[in-house]
């Protein structure tokens, strides 16, 4: 029977500050701790798998007999952004952080971008994605200008109203930016942020977001699996994060609900290899917006999905649930990602339940997946836990 791995990244689902969190300005953060006490949080399936048994988790009731193998993973890369987090999950550790621009991008870069695109640029500073529309949206529409902003993460974000700058045109603009942003300006992601509305009171970002990432610096788990003839199905923004490298099939989603539905549908499909899923709403809609209730409700929605997914798993299926960083919705000093441990839950008929302790490097995931699928991962960082996990 074909071996299948469902790797689901709950984007930003951290479980407590890492030892170096203070260096990132994130001391004391805990995404899971913030949402688990909210009335909207109800996650019995995650609890039974062992989420509340993981090292350092002090919320929820530990399961008496967890059904999954479980661990706390510490990020080895020097960053807390989506790109670096996913690269590490896929077996590539980044010892140097990607560049950030807390004072905005250099004037000469913005001037060159304006010259290449033909559009005036507004803002050019770190900003909340929703607040930037309130403060600059009307001016952008009046001047047919682009709103360029960044954050504490390594991103170059371009917002434009779909009525004035059609989505394909905005994508072309962002491709121009991606080609320019290399070397010392090589941000992890250029993000197209289309919005609609006619005034500050009703501006709203649409689901036509598009991320253009740096290519990984070397081969990742995705490349190795594809080269070995395995399927690598990218659900959500996984394709964008890896700039398509190693992906054999791309499935675009509009958010968590849609991503969950596609993942459920994949369970009934025949494939051999990896379904790599990112559920972005945890981060984009709730973490960055510091919406504890929304984040808790999203966790509950995911848990309800597990009610049907877990018993539907085939004999040789593995399910892995993890995250790429934190984004504590109760942390009000910033609205950015937080430097946190992430959970790792491994479930399947061939898995021995129990604690795997605390592991350095998210790349433990890539090594374990490759070991299970019989693919040589010597070129990747990390160490496999498959021999400890296998029943």
Name the residue among 287, 327, 334 with its Cα closest to residue 81: 327
How much is the pLDDT for 153?
Answer: 86
Q: Give φ, ψ of 384 to 5 degrees.
A: -70, 145
| pLDDT value at residue 152 | 84
Structure tokens at 376: 């040589």
pLDDT in tens, 232-251: 999 999 999 999 999 999 99
Kindly report the average pLDDT of the chain as a whole number. 97
**Cβ count near 376 (within 10 Å):** 11
For 206-238, what is each residue's pLDDT tens digit?
Answer: 999 999 999 999 999 999 999 999 999 999 999
Residue 224 contacts residue 370 (beta carbons within 8 Å): yes
CB-CB contact of 211 with 242 (8 Å): no
182 touches 169 (CB < 8 A): no
HSE (CB half, 13 Å, CA atoms) of 15?
Answer: 27
Q: What is the mean pLDDT of residues 337-350?
A: 98
Residue 30, pLDDT score: 98
For residue 176, with 0-12 CB atoms within 10 Å meaning exposed, 13-18 middle and 19 or more buried, which class applies?
Answer: middle
**Please, what's the largest Cα pairwise distance for the chain?**
64
How far, in Å, CA of 145 to CA of 285, rounded? 25
206 φ/ψ angles, rounded to the nearest 5 degrees = -100, 180
Single out the residue of 263, 256, 222 nearest to residue 240, CA to CA.
222
Question: Residue range 155-159: average pLDDT?
Answer: 97
pLDDT category, 26, cuts 50, 70, 90?
A: very high
Per-residue model confidence (pLDDT) at position 283: 97
DSSP labels for 98-140?
Answer: PP--TT-S-HHHHHHHHHHH---EEEEEE--TTHHHHHHHHHH
Closest-CA residue to 149 (of 169, 173, 179, 129):
129
pLDDT in tens, 292-339: 999 999 999 999 999 999 999 999 999 999 999 999 999 999 999 999
Q: Above 90 in pLDDT, residue 257?
A: yes
Query: Hey, CA dihedral for 352, 353, 354, 358, is it positive or negative?
Result: positive
Q: Which pLDDT does position 69 carry in this prediction?
A: 98
The pLDDT tens digits for 158-206 are 999 999 999 999 999 999 999 999 999 999 999 999 999 999 999 999 9
Write down all domains in the chain, each with its CATH number in brackets.
Answer: 4-95+216-389 (3.40.720.10), 107-213 (3.30.70.1250)
Q: Per-residue pLDDT averaged across 353-381, rounded?
A: 98
265 burial via Cβ count (<10 Å: 0-12, 13-18, 19+): exposed
What average pLDDT score do residues 384-388 get?
A: 98
How many angstroms separate the CA atoms of 270 and 275, rounded?
11
Give percent of the chain with pLDDT exceeding 90.
Answer: 98
Question: Which structure tokens are listed for 187?
Answer: 């941000």
pLDDT reading at 1 higher than 80: no
**For 169, which DSSP code?**
H
What distance in Å separates the CA atoms of residue 224 and residue 230, rounded to the nearest whole number? 9
The reported pLDDT for the residue numbered 251 is 98
Q: What is the pLDDT of residue 118?
A: 97
**Tens digit of each residue's pLDDT (9 = 90 or more) over 44-90:** 999 999 999 999 999 999 999 999 999 999 999 999 999 999 999 99
């Amino acid at each position: 029977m074909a071996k299948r791995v469902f790797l689901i990244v709950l984007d930003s689902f951290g479980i407590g500050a890492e030892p170096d969190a203070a260096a990132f300005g994130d001391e004391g953060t805990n995404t899971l701790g913030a949402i688990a006490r909210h009335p909207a949080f109800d996650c019995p399936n995650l609890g039974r798998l062992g989420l509340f048994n993981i090292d350092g988790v002090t919320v929820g009731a530990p399961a008496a007999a967890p059904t999954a193998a479980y661990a706390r993973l510490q990020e080895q890369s020097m960053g807390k952004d989506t790109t670096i987090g996913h690269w590490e999950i896929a077996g590539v550790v980044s010892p140097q952080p990607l560049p950030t621009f807390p004072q905005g991008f250099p004037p000469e870069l913005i001037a060159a971008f304006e010259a290449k695109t033909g559009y005036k640029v507004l803002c050019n500073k770190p900003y909340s994605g929703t607040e930037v529309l309130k403060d600059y949206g009307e001016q952008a529409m009046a001047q047919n200008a682009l709103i360029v902003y960044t954050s504490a993460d390594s991103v170059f974000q371009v917002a434009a109203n779909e009525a004035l700058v059609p989505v394909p045109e905005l994508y072309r603009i962002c491709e121009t930016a991606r080609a320019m942003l290399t070397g010392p300006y090589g941000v992890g992601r250029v993000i197209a942020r289309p919005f609609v509305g006619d005034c500050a009171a009703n501006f709203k970002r649409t689901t036509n977001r598009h991320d253009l990432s740096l290519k990984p610096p070397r081969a990742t788990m995705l490349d190795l699996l594809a080269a070995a003839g395995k399927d690598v199905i990218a659900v959500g923004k996984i394709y964008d994060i890896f700039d398509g490298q190693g992906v054999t099939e791309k499935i675009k989603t509009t958010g968590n609900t849609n991503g969950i539905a596609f993942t459920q549908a994949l369970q009934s499909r025949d494939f051999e290899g990896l379904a790599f899923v990112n559920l972005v709403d945890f981060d984009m809609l709730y973490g960055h917006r510091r919406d504890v209730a929304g984040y808790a409700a999203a966790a509950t929605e995911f848990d309800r999905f597990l009610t049907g997914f877990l018993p539907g798993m085939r004999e040789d299926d593995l399910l892995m649930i993890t995250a790429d960083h934190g984004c504590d919705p109760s942390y009000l000093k910033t609205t950015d990602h937080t430097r946190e441990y992430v959970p790792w839950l491994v479930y399947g008929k061939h898995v021995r339940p129990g604690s795997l302790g605390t592991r350095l490097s998210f790349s433990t995931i890539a090594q374990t997946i490759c070991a299970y699928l019989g693919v040589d991962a010597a070129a990747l960082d990390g160490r496999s836990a498959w021999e400890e996990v296998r029943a």
